[in-house]
């Protein structure tokens, strides 16, 4: 039975971290909300119509038979071994989950660059605060997070150029998406900063050339970045030129 | 060998979610940074002095022999089975991890009520924005998150009054801490809202009366809430009376 991915229709958002893992592995999955009845089906889970064990707080969530798994890091924790996207030993899996949770925190901060006051209000209603938060994000938070990921890539004792062990993991796919998103949202800032992150940049290139990812990125299944997602390009929030 | 918990000295912060699990289980652990050399030892891990496998992004992290595990949800995922604080079946563990990750997201939002613009700047430099964010947090976010946790408690088909299965889990201990923290930080708002969350309130009371937790809360090991932690009581951010 194919996996069923539930995520808001029309955006990459947090669902994209799951899509990349499924696509790299060539797994069979249904991106539920891209069908006409999918969003309605998703809302039934969120409302609790399917009971305690199938009542996630928010999308994305993955349905695999009777299991309903919510939160990106939890889904990848579950899928990683099944898709061959994490080493088998416990130590590596705990490191992978720790890294994915660091990515999770960073992605939440990316979201708040355009919504620092309220997720219920429009960006246009919090533009001044968004500029202040984005300025701090570019100055302090991008270097803190990317610096850490770069150090982890550098410190990996295995041959290869991945974050854990010698082979690609789901963490590397998520780091690819983070780098793609940052370049989309903050092109001027990234142009100025990217020289400090050669291993992350190489990883981004390497991932983009993997056959399954390359085919996915060209397909209609890969939605474009947009100003409805998490990584948004508002030129006024980017580094001042 | 006792577990070693590494977390910033002097505050409950995110370390408290780990302490509560260890204390409830009566596990042997060392709260490293409460000794004179602990913070120095912690910084060596963060700087990467101990290599790739022992290089967390941030505290809290837990050392168990050669394993170094970072992020609250990851630590609890690891400790839960060892401490008897999660059911044995995979489905329950995935639900527990999903709930803990929802708590993680909520706690990050609590932090941002007093630091909506920049974690590098003082609260006093972002008070206006903090008031706006706190207002939205009280109006929209507390009801959204607590409403979800209340629904999960209500929908649990097992007897008892816990969030998963029939026995206490680490998730329930984290929900206790969330309720304690919200009552500390936003007493007026919680006074107005708490009637909507009878099961969460009952859980809070039940957890506080458990022998090990009761003894812990009275001990010197339980640090007080303060305005250096995540849950901060700034009266001006609370509901206007």
Q: Could you tell me how many residues make up chain A?
A: 241
Helices (H), B48-89: 72-83
- Which of B70, B68, B5, B75 has the alpha carbon at shortest distance from B39? B5
Residues in Cβ contact with A124 at an 8 Å cutoff, skipping those fewer than 6 apart: none
**Residue of B18, B51, B71 best to disrupt the A interface, most CBs of A under 10 A:** B71
| Residue B66 forms part of a structural domain | yes
Domain residues for the domain of B12 are 3-83
pLDDT in tens, A101-160: 999 999 999 999 999 999 999 999 999 999 999 999 999 999 999 999 999 999 999 988
Residues in Cβ contact with A22 at an 8 Å cutoff, skipping those fewer than 6 apart: A3, A5, A29, A79, A83
Give the domain-ending residue among A42, A68, A83.
Answer: A83
pLDDT in tens, A162-181: 999 999 999 999 999 999 99
B67, A91: Cβ pair inside 8 Å?
A: yes
Query: Would you tell me how many other CB atoms lie within 10 Å of the CB of residue B44?
Result: 12
Cα A76 from Cα A73, distance rounded (Å): 5
Question: Which of A51, A101, A112 is facing B71, going by the closest CB pair?
Answer: A101
| Residue B239 forms part of a structural domain | no
Residue pair B52/A87 in contact (Cβ under 8 Å)? The answer is no
Residue pair B68/B61 in contact (Cβ under 8 Å)? The answer is yes
- Stretch A24-40: mean pLDDT: 96
Give the domain-ending residue among A61, A83, A105.
Answer: A83
**Shared-domain flag, residues B104 and B152:** yes
Q: Hey, CA dihedral for A4, A12, B171, B235, is it positive or negative?
A: negative
**Shared-domain flag, residues B98 and B186:** yes
Is B97 at the interface with chain A, CB within 8 A?
A: yes
**Shared-domain flag, residues B98 and B59:** no
Residues in Cβ contact with B40 at an 8 Å cutoff, skipping those fewer than 6 apart: none
| Residue B214 forms part of a structural domain | no
Identify the closest residue of chain A to B91 by CA–CA distance.
Answer: A67
B73, A73: Cβ pair inside 8 Å?
A: yes
**Shared-domain flag, residues B79 and B141:** no
B116, A117: Cβ pair inside 8 Å?
A: yes
Determine what percent of chain A is predicted with pLDDT higher than 70: 100
**Shared-domain flag, residues B94 and B173:** yes
Per-residue pLDDT band at A241 (split at 50, 70, 90): low
- Smallest CA–CA distance, residue B134 to chain A, in Å, is 8
CATH number (domain holding residue A123): 1.20.1050.10
**Shared-domain flag, residues A120 and A60:** no
Number of domains in chain A: 2
Question: Which of B69, B148, B157 is facing A94, going by the closest CB pair?
Answer: B69
B52, A148: Cβ pair inside 8 Å?
A: no
Residues in Cβ contact with B97 at an 8 Å cutoff, skipping those fewer than 6 apart: A71, A74, A77, B73, B77
| Residue A215 forms part of a structural domain | no
Residue pair B176/B24 in contact (Cβ under 8 Å)? The answer is no
**Residue of A57, A64, A161, A237 best to disrupt the B interface, most CBs of B under 10 A:** A57
- What is the side-by-side strand order in the sheet with A67-70? A29-31, A3-6, A61-64, A67-70
**Shared-domain flag, residues A18 and A129:** no
| Residue B65 forms part of a structural domain | yes
Question: Which of B51, B98, B152 is facing A71, going by the closest CB pair?
Answer: B98
A31: left (phi over 0), alpha (psi -120 to 50) or beta: beta
**Shared-domain flag, residues B116 and B77:** no
The residues in B 140-159 lying below 8 A from A, measured between CB atoms, are 140-141, 145, 148, 151-152, 155-157
Cα A166 from Cα B197, distance rounded (Å): 49
**Shared-domain flag, residues B147 and B183:** yes
Q: Give the containing element (helix H, strand E) for B206.
A: helix B198-209
| Residue A230 forms part of a structural domain | no
What are the residue ranges in chain B where pLDDT is below 70?
Answer: 241
| Residue B216 forms part of a structural domain | no
Q: Give the containing element (helix H, strand E) for A47.
A: helix A38-47
A132, B117: Cβ pair inside 8 Å?
A: yes
Determine what percent of chain A is predicted with pLDDT higher than 90: 98
Cα B86 from Cα B75, distance rounded (Å): 13
Identify the closest residue of chain A to B125 by CA–CA distance.
Answer: A132
**Shared-domain flag, residues B162 and B104:** yes
pLDDT in tens, A177-222: 999 999 999 999 999 999 999 999 999 999 999 999 999 999 999 9
Cα B87 from Cα B101, distance rounded (Å): 17
Q: Which two tokens stand for residue A32?
A: 């539920």
The residues in B 194-233 lying below 8 A from A, measured between CB atoms, are none
| Residue A226 forms part of a structural domain | no
Residue A186 has what pLDDT? 98
**Residue of A52, A125, A126, A155 best to disrupt the B interface, most CBs of B under 10 A:** A52
Give the domain-ending residue among B58, B83, B108.
Answer: B83
CATH number (domain holding residue B19): 3.40.30.10
Residue pair B168/B210 in contact (Cβ under 8 Å)? The answer is yes
**Shared-domain flag, residues B202 and B166:** yes
Residue A240 has what pLDDT? 86
**Shared-domain flag, residues A96 and A174:** yes
């Amino acid at each position: 039975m194919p996996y069923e991915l539930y995520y808001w229709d029309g955006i990459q958002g947090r669902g994209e971290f799951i899509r990349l893992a499924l696509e790299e592995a060539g797994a069979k999955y249904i991106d539920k909300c891209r069908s006409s009845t999918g969003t309605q089906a998703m809302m039934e889970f969120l409302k609790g119509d399917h009971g305690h064990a199938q009542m996630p707080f928010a999308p994305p969530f993955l349905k695999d038979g009777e299991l309903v798994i919510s939160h990106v890091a939890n889904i990848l924790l579950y899928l990683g071994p099944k898709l061959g996207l994490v080493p088998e030993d416990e130590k590596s899996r705990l490191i992978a989950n720790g890294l994915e949770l660091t990515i999770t925190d960073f992605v939440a901060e990316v979201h708040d660059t355009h919504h620092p006051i309220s997720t219920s209000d429009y960006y246009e209603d919090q533009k001044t605060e968004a500029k202040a938060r984005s300025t701090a994000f570019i100055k302090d938070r991008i270097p803190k997070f990317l610096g850490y990921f770069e150090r982890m890539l550098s410190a990996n004792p295995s041959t290869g150029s991945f974050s854990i062990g010698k082979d690609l993991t789901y963490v590397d796919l998520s780091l690819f998406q983070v780098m793609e998103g940052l370049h989309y949202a903050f092109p001027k800032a990234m142009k100025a900063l990217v020289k400090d992150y050669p291993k992350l940049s190489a990883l981004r290139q390497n991932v983009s050339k993997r056959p399954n990812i390359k085919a996915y990125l060209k397909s209609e299944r890969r939605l474009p970045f947009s100003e409805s997602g998490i990584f948004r390009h508002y030129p006024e929030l980017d580094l001042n030129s």
